[in-house]
Chains A and B, each alone.
Chain A
Amino acid sequence: MTNNHQDLIDQKLQDLNNDGIDRRGFLKCMAWAGTGLVWTMSGGIPVSRAFAKNISKHAGGGGDFSFVQISDSHMGFNKPANPDVVATLQAAVNKINALPAPPDFLLHTGDISHLSRPEQFDTVDQVLKSASAKDVFFVPGEHDVLDDNGKSYLARYGKSSQGAGWYSFDHKGVHFIGLVNVMNLKAGGLGSLGGEQLEWMKKDVKHLKHSTPIVVFAHIPLWSVYPEWGWGTDDSAQALACLKKFGSVTVLNGHIHQTMQKVEGNVTFHTAMSTAFPQPQPGKADSPGPMKVPADQLKTLLGITDVNYVQRPHSLAVVDSALG
């Protein structure tokens, strides 16, 4: 590692510690390598593309791969904040298909539909068929489990899942855990995983080596982003406690319709943009409702998250790309 690179890392650490994410800084430096993670954030497409190329150039062995996280497509939403959520989901798919390295699969972190209606799920499934990656792994958002306690969601997306739809899988040495934190929410509370799921999770990771990179994905953030708006999960600390022994844990969430990130010890938390409509920054509006922005700005606030895994030295790069 060159001194120059080390400087950039130090600068990034400082940025993160200051808690004010300096997007310009990210654009310049783009990489932070600390505890086995390469972290990137960028505001626009060209930079992410350039960076993704950079990643693949430096990629080592055949175990390298990438996947894309999309979130909050809210199919069926038709209010002024975005009257055409089909078009923006399609734009997200086009963006995925234009990535320099085709992703191995997609993760959808929930709120697939706006009102859990079969035709809304159908439309999303149809649009995603045109993505270069054919496998899509879902976890539900609260909008996907309305009125029927998640029955129709499970029938469609949860065939190989347990409980309310949680599951895990391995891909090229990385262990992925899909969690459900939108069921049985209690008055006054936040997102909730529940005892049964936490027990399952403990068993699920028990046999894994400490060096196994872990990716956890769930709809509502598993860290306290802004509890006043319900942006957090009541029992997330218990889930994270199961993951203490692992050197690299990446947590990917949706729900808040904007990117946000935090590094805490071995855990990197990240939230993705929506493909449907933006929501205000925490506390910057009367409520977390859909944010109406001028039409030409909408696509700059919607997007996808491209995650690149480099086997040597066990690095995960998280790149957010706006749709326009």
Chain B
Amino acid sequence: MTKKHSYAALATPLLIALTLLFAASPNVRANGVGATDQPPATAAEVKIDNFSFGPQSLTVPVGTTVTWTNRDDIPHTVVSTDGVFKSKVRDTDEKFSYTFSAAGTYSYFCSLHPKMTGKIVVQ
């Protein structure tokens, strides 16, 4: 009797655990690894006006896609100082996007007009 009882006592929580695990797994796949501790993917924008990046410093959560839009009459580029990302030349109204999947501070500049600098802080 005691033996039987102990089996049942063990089996019930195990079944619950297994059920939970299977039920949870599609969720894990849909939201990506770490779905529970990350907000959903977001987007942010940087405008290029008058030979400057605005905002010059932008703070975004991990997973954010940042899109730069050149609104000058002169082409610019968006180039990471540490070689993480590099746009092709962007003429008037052309865009460049990059998704930041890791936390950190990303400094960048325009390789044509290197006085133009900016940074994205990913948290």
- Pick 16 A–B contacts, CB within 8 A, sort by A: A79-B92, A115-B75, A115-B89, A143-B112, A146-B112, A187-B114, A188-B114, A188-B117, A189-B114, A189-B115, A227-B115, A228-B115, A289-B50, A289-B51, A289-B73, A290-B74
CA distance A116 to B74 in the complex (A): 13
Q: Which one of A81, A146, A227, A288 lies within 8 Å of B75 (CB-CB)?
A: A146
Give B119 Cβ to nearest chain A Cβ, in Å: 10
The tally of CB-CB contacts under 8 A between chains A and B is 58
CB neighbours of B81 from chain A (8 A): 187
Q: Which one of B52, B89, B108 lies within 8 Å of A287 (CB-CB)?
A: B52
Q: Are A187 and B92 in contact (CB under 8 A)?
A: no
CB neighbours of A272 from chain B (8 A): none
Residue of A nearest to B118 (CB): A187
**Is B99 an interface residue, CB under 8 A from the partner?**
no
Q: Are A185 and B50 in contact (CB under 8 A)?
A: no
- Give chain B's interface secondary structure class: loop
Q: Are A288 and B51 in contact (CB under 8 A)?
A: yes
Q: Which one of B51, B52, B109 lies within 8 Å of A187 (CB-CB)?
A: B109
**Is B111 an interface residue, CB under 8 A from the partner?**
yes
CA distance A138 to B115 in the complex (A): 25
CA distance A267 to B65 in the complex (A): 50
Interface residues of B in 8-63 (CB under 8 A from A): 50-52
Could you list which residues of chain A lie within 8 angstroms of chain B, going by C-beta atoms? 79-81, 114-116, 142-143, 146-147, 185-190, 227-230, 286-290
CB neighbours of B92 from chain A (8 A): 79
**Is B107 an interface residue, CB under 8 A from the partner?**
yes
- The interface on chain B, measured as residues whose beta carbon lies within 8 A of the other chain's beta carbons, has a size of 22
Give B2 Cβ to nearest chain A Cβ, in Å: 74
CB neighbours of B51 from chain A (8 A): 229, 287-289
**Is B88 an interface residue, CB under 8 A from the partner?**
yes
For B69-97 the 0/1 string (1 means CB < 8 A from A) is: 00011110100010000001101100000
CA distance A227 to B74 in the complex (A): 19
CA distance A80 to B74 in the complex (A): 12
Q: Are B91 and A185 in contact (CB under 8 A)?
A: no
Q: Are B112 and A142 in contact (CB under 8 A)?
A: yes
Q: Are A147 and B115 in contact (CB under 8 A)?
A: no
Residue of B nearest to A182 (CB): B112
Give B94 Cβ to nearest chain A Cβ, in Å: 11
Knowing A114-B75, A146-B75, A146-B89 are in contact, say whether A287-B50 is a contact too (CB < 8 A): yes
Q: Are B117 and A289 in contact (CB under 8 A)?
A: no
For B99-123 the 0/1 string (1 means CB < 8 A from A) is: 0000000011101111101000000
Q: Are B89 and A186 in contact (CB under 8 A)?
A: no
Q: Are B114 and A186 in contact (CB under 8 A)?
A: yes
A-B interface, 9 closest residue pairs, ranked by CB to CB distance from nearest:
A287-B50, A187-B109, A287-B51, A79-B73, A146-B89, A185-B114, A230-B115, A286-B50, A142-B112
CA distance A185 to B50 in the complex (A): 20
Q: Are B114 and A290 in contact (CB under 8 A)?
A: no
Q: Are A290 and B89 in contact (CB under 8 A)?
A: no
Q: Are B75 and A143 in contact (CB under 8 A)?
A: yes
CB neighbours of A186 from chain B (8 A): 114
CA distance A230 to B77 in the complex (A): 15
CA distance A142 to B108 in the complex (A): 18
CA distance A279 to B4 in the complex (A): 91
Give A82 Cβ to nearest chain B Cβ, in Å: 10
CA distance A228 to B51 in the complex (A): 11
Q: Are A81 and B73 in contact (CB under 8 A)?
A: yes
